[in-house]
Amino acid sequence: MQIGATEIEAVDVRSGTSCMLTGEFALSLMHAIDQKLRVVDLHDSSFGKDFIRNLSQRGLMCEVLNLRSSRFRKLNMIGEFKRIHTLNLDYSTSLTSFKEDCFSCMPNLICLSMCETRVGNLWTTIAALSKLPSLAELRFQNWLCCDDTGNSSGSSDQDDKTDFSQLNICSSFGAYGNVVINPDSQILVEDSSDDSEVDFSIQHREYDYLELLSNLVPQLDGEIDLWNEVSFDAFSNQNEEESSAGVLARCTADVSLKYISCHASPICFEKHYRDYMIASLPKLKFLDNLPIRKVDRERATITYSQYFEHLPYGRKHKESVVSILQQREIKASQTRGKTSRHKTSYPSGMSQYFYTRSLCAAKVGSSAWPCLHTLTVSGNHMGDENRSFRPRQFEYHPSISCLMVFGTLDGEIVVVNHENENIVSYIPSFGAMNSVLGLCWLKKYPSKLIAGSDNGSLKLYDIRHMPPSIRGMHYGAGTVTFDEFDQLTSVHVNSMDELFLASGYSKNIALYDINSGRRLQVFADMHKEHINVVKFSNHSPSIFATSSFDQDVKLWDLRQKPIQPCYTASSSKGNVMVCFSPDDHYLLVSAVDNE
C-alpha cells in the first residue's frame, strides 16, 4: 500500500502455477497496488468463480487484463476499469453472451480479443460492444496469412503468445498493418490500399462446402450463388469499373496469398458478420487482425442497408414512447366528434396499425434486426409454372446458411436457396410418403438429410443425387430406407451422425443406426401421453430431450439405458416443441398454453 510513494513506475501481476495466494488475497494485493498496476495476467487462473465474480464487480486499475481461458458464462464486468485499454478473453470456452452494460465501465478500452469463445449472437454482442467509445481493435478469430506452399506468415501459436506486457504496441499484425498506442491513447493506423483478391479457407471445417455445392447438381453454377454472401465477402476485390453495390465475393485459388481462419468463435459464421460489425462500430480500425479500409466501410454500409433495418417497420429515427402517445392523443382529439358514419382517418400514408407499430419500434430499437420478407417458392424452375407447394415442416441447414429444406402435405421434399428462392433439389412423393412431419440434416455430411412422414416412412436422402427437376432422373441413388415408425411426428440425428431418434403419436421412441440402416431399440412408455418432439443435444451424442402432451419435458442419457430421466420439468399444459440452446446449457420449450 506504500508503493505509491516509491520510485517504482509500474507493477505487473502474473499468476503462475506455484502461486500460493488465494483468490481473495490476490485481489486485495492488486487493489493495494492501485494506480501503479499495469499488466494483470490471469491466464489459466485456478482462483475459481468467486474470484472472477468479485473481480468483475469490484473492477481493477490495470491497463492490460489477460483473462484467457476464464470460466465466464455470461460476461458482466460492472466494476470500474477506467484505465484498461487491452482485454484478452481468448479461449474462454464457456463464454456465450454479454450483459448489455457489461462494457460501460471501460471508457478507454481499445483492444478486445475473444477468439475461440462460444459467443454467437450478433445482436446482443453489438448491443454490448456499442458501449465502448474507444474500441479500435476487435478479434473473434485470427486471420493468418500464408503463401501457396502453406507456410504461414505467423503461426497461431505465436499470435496466441503475444506478450501483453509490451504496452507500447497493442498487437503485432505482420502484413496487416499496425495499431500503436501512444501516450495519449490515440490510434495511428497504417491504411492499406492493397485491393488484391484473396482466398479464404476455414482451417477447422471437416468438409469443403465449395466442393459440395459444385457437386450438388452439374447445372448449379449459373442457378444459385450460395457463396456470394458469406461472411468473408468483405475482403473481396472491388473492380474500379463496378459499382460498389454490385460487388460480389470472389474465391480464387491462383493468388499468391491465402488467409486461414484460426480459433474462430461461432459469431464469425453468422451471415454478414464482418459487414455488420463494421457498420455497427464506426470507430473500429481492425477486425480479426485485418485492417478496415475505406472500401470495406462502403461495402459494409451497403450490405447493412440491404439486409438489416435499424428500427422495425422501416423507421428512420427512434422516437420516444411519450411523443408517440402524444401524437396519438392529438390525432384522437382532432377526430373526436365525427359521426360513426365517417371512416376513421389516419395521417397521410399511415395504416390503422401506425401507432401500434411506432410504439413497438420505440421499444425495440436497441439494435438492428434482419429485414423480413415472404418466401415464395414455385415450380417455375421445375418447368411447371402452375406448380405450388403446401409446406408442412421446414429445417434450416446447420452450416450452409442460405439452404433450407421443407416437406409438404403431399409428401414432397424441396431443398431451396431461401435467399434467391431457387429450388436446389426436389424429391417427389411417388406415393411412398404422406405429409412430411420430420426433417433433419446430417452435420458431418452436409448433403444428406433424414425425412419421415406421418405414415411411418423413414428415408435418408443425398441431395447430390436429387436435382431440382423431376424429368428423367433416377431417385434410388443415395437413398436409404429404414424400418417404419407408425404415426411419426419428429426425427433428430445426434451430434456424431451415428444415430437418430424418431417419435410420434405414441408413448414410445425408436433408436436407429444410420450406418447399418437398422432400428436398434424401441424405448416404451417414456411419457404418459404421446411424444410430440425428440431432440438430441448439440454436443453430447448420447443426451436427448423429449416433450410430451402429458405436460412434461424430460432429459435422457443413452448411456444409462433410458428408463428413468436425468431431469424433468413440467408446464401447465401439453408441450409442443423442445430444443437445446447452441451451448446445451438451456432447453427452450413451447406449450399449447402459448408460453
pLDDT in tens, 108-119: 999 999 999 989
d(CA 86, CA 135): 10
Residues 6+ apart with CB under 8 A from 417: 224, 226, 402, 403, 424
How, if at all, do strands 286-287 and 290-291 pair?
A: antiparallel
Is the pLDDT confidence value at 490 over 90?
Answer: yes
Position 219 scores a pLDDT of 35
Distance of CA 301 to the CA centre of its chain: 21
Torsion of CA 514, 519, 521, 522, to 10 degrees: 110
Q: Which three cell numbers stand for residue 358?
A: 411506432
Angle, CA of 461, 465 and 466, to the nearest 5°:
75
* Residue 507 in this model has a pLDDT that exceeds 60: yes
Find, among 190, 207, 263, 201, the residue nearest to 235 by Cα.
201
Per-residue pLDDT at 505 exceeds 80: yes
Mean pLDDT calculated for residue range 389-413: 90
What was the pLDDT predicted at 520? 94
Overall average pLDDT of the 167-178 stretch: 31
pLDDT band at 258 (very low <50, low <70, confident <90, very high): low
Higher pLDDT, 193 or 431: 431
Q: For residues 457 and 432, give the distance between their C-alpha atoms in angstroms, rounded to a whole number.
A: 7
pLDDT in tens, 95-109: 888 887 888 889 999
Across 264-339, where does the E strand assignment appear? Answer: 286-287, 290-291, 308-309
Q: What is the structure's pLDDT at 465?
A: 82
- Dihedral sign from CA coordinates of 247, 249, 252, 256: positive
Bridge partners (DSSP) listed for residue 39: 64
pLDDT-derived band at 502, boundaries 50, 70, 90 = very high
Q: Tell me, what's the pLDDT at 157?
A: 42
Which one, of 422, 323, 319, lies nearest residue 379 by Cα?
A: 422
Helices 273-280, 294-307: axis angle to 10 degrees equals 100
Percentage of the residues of the chain whose pLDDT score is greater than 70:
69
* Residue 294, burial from CB neighbour count under 10 angstroms (0-12, 13-18, 19+): exposed
Say how far apart CA 110 and CA 85 lie, in whole Å: 5
pLDDT in tens, 540-577: 999 999 999 999 999 999 998 888 899 999 988 899 99
Q: How many CB atoms lie within 10 A of CB 545?
A: 23
- Please give the average per-residue pLDDT across 126-147, as a whole number: 88
How far apart are the C-alpha atoms of 467 and 478, rounded to whole Å? 12
Domains in the chain: ranges and CATH: 1-144+259-309 (3.80.10.10), 391-591 (2.130.10.10)
Nearest-angstrom CA–CA distance, 429 and 432? 6
What is residue 189's predicted lDDT score, i.e. its pLDDT? 37
Residue range 39-93, pLDDT digits in tens: 998 876 667 777 888 888 888 889 999 988 887 777 888 888 999 999 999 998 8
DSSP 386: T
How far is Cα 454 from Cα 468, in angstroms, rounded to an integer? 24
Q: Where are the alpha helices (DSSP H) in 365-504?
A: none
